[in-house]
């Protein structure tokens, strides 16, 4: 294990040494390149780097004012900026951040008690810092014990393999070696990623219908289209066991896809490669789009069609059941989350929907199954609002009596925020 120190500027303008933690819990397997760079971005200006460094120092100071050092285990910056691949937005006044700043506050003790005690204060702090930094700041409460005991996921893999440490010791990620092997990321994680990015396509569809159509609508749509472009290629890499925490490395691996990636049987592989490259470029060098609603609509339709093909290909493989149409998938009784435990699903459903769910016949199904089925019909099946049977299917999944697209979308969004 090794560490280095970064010189950053405090809010007062003083130069401060802040330890940049570089932990290799599985160094015999991989040696993440991102931890050798002290930068937040690949090619952002010095002013942008200093702006982000001051934000990190302020986060460290403010969190330590809220949480005792004895309880605080670590503060980690994740996401693109934590991996050294944060987005750089070019403006007339210089480079600015574009992506969210995602901070992970690791606390010892009960996760539930910690959330009750600190969530509200951290939410208030996030709002305060968002205004100062110029992008959304997010705090997520975790514990090192939970991180060490949790099963492999794409989320934990990305965090462990690429982060910037603001507080903690060298050995803070000891015991997390199982999160370092991308080949162990289960296919359910690829489905979860695709569900979230296709949800972005669904929300973008709502924005396309706005009148008047504003630059804010266009920016939201452009951002979500780019995220979907990147995700389609990432899904294929997960399936082939070739996913990587660096978006640049993923793009390189996808360009070489074929026999080396277990995605050669996907007939639209070249289309996915093209979109993935565009998505990576947007991630590193985002732009606020000024495109018209008609041009964005055209790209949305193209991308949604390609996403459907990836969706059916992935789910057929993951669930070992051939799905040839979206209706076939949505109406199939095949469990969409077979990796979950029935008893635990009952408890989650009881807590989420109340006692009535126990008599609905859906108590043993994990709530994300509802999202998978509702999303597929709302995004890809044009007959959903016209067919009584399909509409009722979506209403049951979302537990709503809404009949219009806005009403169904609102119910979907509410459930998605809880189980995305």
pLDDT beyond 50 at 259: no
Domain limits, the chain: 2-184, 186-318, 333-420
**259 or 313, which is more confident?**
313
**Over the stretch 62-102, which tens digit does the pLDDT of each residue have?**
999 999 888 999 999 999 999 999 999 999 999 999 999 99
**Over the stretch 197-241, which tens digit does the pLDDT of each residue have?**
999 999 999 999 999 999 999 999 999 999 999 999 999 999 999
Task: Write the DSSP assignment of 344-389 as a string of letters.
Answer: HHHHHHHHHH-GGGGGTT-TTS-THHHHHHHHHHHHH-TTTTT-HH
Nearest CA among 171, 215, 217, 223 for reference residue 197 = 223
Q: How confident is the model at residue 351 (pLDDT cuts 50, 70, 90)?
A: confident
Task: Measure the CA–CA gap between 55 and 100, rounded to whole angstroms.
Answer: 12
Phi, psi angle pair for 37, to nearest 5°: -110, 135
Q: How confident is the model at residue 305 (pLDDT cuts 50, 70, 90)?
A: very high
Of 13-17, 222-226, 331-335, minimum mean pLDDT range = 13-17
What's the average model confidence in pLDDT over 137-161?
A: 93
Phi, psi angle pair for 370, to nearest 5°: -60, -40
Task: Measure the CA–CA gap between 377 and 370, rounded to whole angstroms.
Answer: 11
**Is the bond preceding residue 212 a cis peptide, omega within 30 degrees?**
yes
Position 263 scores a pLDDT of 55
Nearest CA among 136, 148, 150, 217 for reference residue 189 = 150
Residues 6+ apart with CB under 8 A from 269: 236, 257, 258, 263
What's the average model confidence in pLDDT over 147-152?
A: 92
Task: Write the DSSP assignment of 68-117 as a string of letters.
Answer: -TTTEEEEEE-HHHHTT-B-EEEETTEEEE-SPEEEEEEESS-HHHHHHH
How many Cβ atoms sit within 10 Å of the Cβ of residue 200? 19
125: left (phi over 0), alpha (psi -120 to 50) or beta: alpha
Any alpha helices (H) in 290-334, and if so which ranges? 293-318, 326-331
Fold entry, domain 186-318: 1.20.120
The answer to whether 365 and 371 are in contact (CB under 8 A) is: no
């Amino acid at each position: 294990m090794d560490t280095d120190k970064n010189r950053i500027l405090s809010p007062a303008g003083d130069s401060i040494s802040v330890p940049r933690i570089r932990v290799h819990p599985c160094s015999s397997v991989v040696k993440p390149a991102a931890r050798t760079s002290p930068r937040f971005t690949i090619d952002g200006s010095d002013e942008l780097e200093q702006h982000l460094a001051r934000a990190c120092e302020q986060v460290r100071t403010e969190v330590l004012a809220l949480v005792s050092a004895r309880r605080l285990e670590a503060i980690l910056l994740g996401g693109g900026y934590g991996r050294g691949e944060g987005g750089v937005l070019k403006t007339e006044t210089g480079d600015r951040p574009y992506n969210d700043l995602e901070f992970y506050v690791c606390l010892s003790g009960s996760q539930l008690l910690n959330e009750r005690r600190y969530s509200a204060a951290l939410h208030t702090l996030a709002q305060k810092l968002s205004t100062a930094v110029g992008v959304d700041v997010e705090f997520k409460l975790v514990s090192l014990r939970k991180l060490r005991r949790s099963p492999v996921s794409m989320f934990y893999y990305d965090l462990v393999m690429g982060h910037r440490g603001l507080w903690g010791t060298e050995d803070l990620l000891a015991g997390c070696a199982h999160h370092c092997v991308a080949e162990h990321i289960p296919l359910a994680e690829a489905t979860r990623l695709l569900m979230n990015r296709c949800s972005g396509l669904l929300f973008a569809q709502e924005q396309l219908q706005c009148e008047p159509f504003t630059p804010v609508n266009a920016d939201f749509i452009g951002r979500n289209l780019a995220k979907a472009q990147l995700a389609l290629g990432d899904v294929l890499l997960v399936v082939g066991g070739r996913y990587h925490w660096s978006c640049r490395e993923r793009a390189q691996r996808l360009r070489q896809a074929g026999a080396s990636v277990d995605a050669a049987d996907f007939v639209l592989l070249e289309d996915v490669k093209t979109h993935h490259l565009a998505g990576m470029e947007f991630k590193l060098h985002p732009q606020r789009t000024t495109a018209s609603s008609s041009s964005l609509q055209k790209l949305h339709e193209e991308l949604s069609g390609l996403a459907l093909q990836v969706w059916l290909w992935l789910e057929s493989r993951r669930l070992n059941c051939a799905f040839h149409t979206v209706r076939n998938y949505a109406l199939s009784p095949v469990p969409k989350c077979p990796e979950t435990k029935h008893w635990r699903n009952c408890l989650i459903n009881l807590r989420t929907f109340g006692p009535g769910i126990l008599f609905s016949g859906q108590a043993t199904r994990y709530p994300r199954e509802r999202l998978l089925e509702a999303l597929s019909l709302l995004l890809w099946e044009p007959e959903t609002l016209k067919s009584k049977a399909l509409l009722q299917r979506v209403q049951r999944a979302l537990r709503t009596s809404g009949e219009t697209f806005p009403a169904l979308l609102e119910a979907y969004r509410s459930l998605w925020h809880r189980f995305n």
